[in-house]
Amino acid sequence: MDPAGLFAQWPGWRIVAPSTAFDYVGLMNAALTCEDPVLVLEHVDLYTAKMQGPTHDYDYFIPLGSAKVVRAGKALTILTYSAMVEQSRVATKALGIDAEIIDLRSLDRAGTDWETIGTSIRKTNNVVVVEQGPQTVSYGAMLSDEIQRRFFDYLDQRVHGGESSPSVSKVLERAAFAMAPENRAKIAPDDDRYRPWFGADRGVGSWAQQKCQACVASNISASRCRTSNRRRGSLSRLLDANSFTNWGHYSLMIDG
């Protein structure tokens, strides 16, 4: 579960979330020389990801508070960080959208690179905030609020994880995470091909309680609908059959 929204609520420290090995080294070096405490968020999926990293010089610095445009575009601006940078790249490539993807890198309020963000928003006039955290404790909520304050005339969209704990089963783990299907559904909301079968708006529980057309027409409750009962039974068996998975997908490193 993405903890960025939780930690970003408190001022007084810096928060960085590298998405590549190259950025990790540069941001870590900057964190070690920073006089403020720095929280480094590491996503577990990046540990096994194949990417280019530094080979000779390890003494370079990436200034805290500097975002990076990883893909230039004119149709819309995607603001994201950590492992969701690659997920956003996959989604835009699959959709064929000319989107500009910005890796925020620094997530604390004081370190947000509003100059880079503002330049992109004024160019595209559309914003999509992509994160993996749940809507309840959402970093995107703070970011979207500030976007409205600074760029009120521009539309913003949010992609976030579902209201589900990722620590129970593979079914609930998948429901909690925002991946490429969720990104596509927000980037192209009118295209039914990319609409996820669950998420913040269509949870696993709501799917299980959907009634058949006959019961809807007859106003029969979901508890008496055979279709709904079969779905709930299937969901229970899925939850029981799946073993427990890891408790989180982020590790934290605090320097200070």
Structure tokens at 129: 């905030």
State whether 100 and 16 are in the same domain: yes
| Residue 109 phi, psi dihedral angles, 5° rounding | -60, -40
State whether 13 and 54 are in the same domain: yes
State whether 65 and 83 are in the same domain: yes
CB 129 within 8 A of CB 144: yes
State whether 50 and 60 are in the same domain: yes
Complete DSSP assignment for the chain: ---HHHHTTS-SSEEE--SSHHHHHHHHHHHHH-SS-EEEEEEGGGTS------SS-------TT--EEEE--SSEEEEE-TTHHHHHHHHHHHHT--EEEEE--B-SGGG--HHHHHHHHHHHSEEEEEEEEESTT-HHHHHHHHHHHH-TTSEEEEEEE-SS-TTS-HHHHHHHS--HHHHHHHHSTT-GGG--SSSSSS-HHHHHTPPPHHHHHTT--GGG-HHHHHHHHHHHHHHHHSPP--S-SEEEEEE-
State whether 83 and 172 are in the same domain: yes
State whether 225 and 118 are in the same domain: no
Please state, in angstroms and rounded to a whole number, the distance separating the CA atoms of residues 231 and 24: 44
| Residue type (1 letter), 134 | P
State whether 117 and 77 are in the same domain: yes
- The boundaries of the domain holding residue 67 are 4-202+242-255
Structure tokens at 163: 């209201």
State whether 223 and 170 are in the same domain: no
State whether 145 and 236 are in the same domain: no
pLDDT value of position 3: 84
State whether 132 and 226 are in the same domain: no
Please state, in angstroms and rounded to a whole number, the distance separating the CA atoms of residues 113 and 138: 19
Structure tokens at 225: 């609908």
CB 195 within 8 A of CB 185: yes
Whichever domain contains 69, its CATH number is 3.40.50.920
Domain count for the chain: 2
> Is the entire prediction scored with pTM above 0.75?
no
State whether 177 and 121 are in the same domain: yes
**What are the residue ranges in the chain where pLDDT is below 70?**
1, 154-168, 177-180, 182-256
State whether 119 and 235 are in the same domain: no
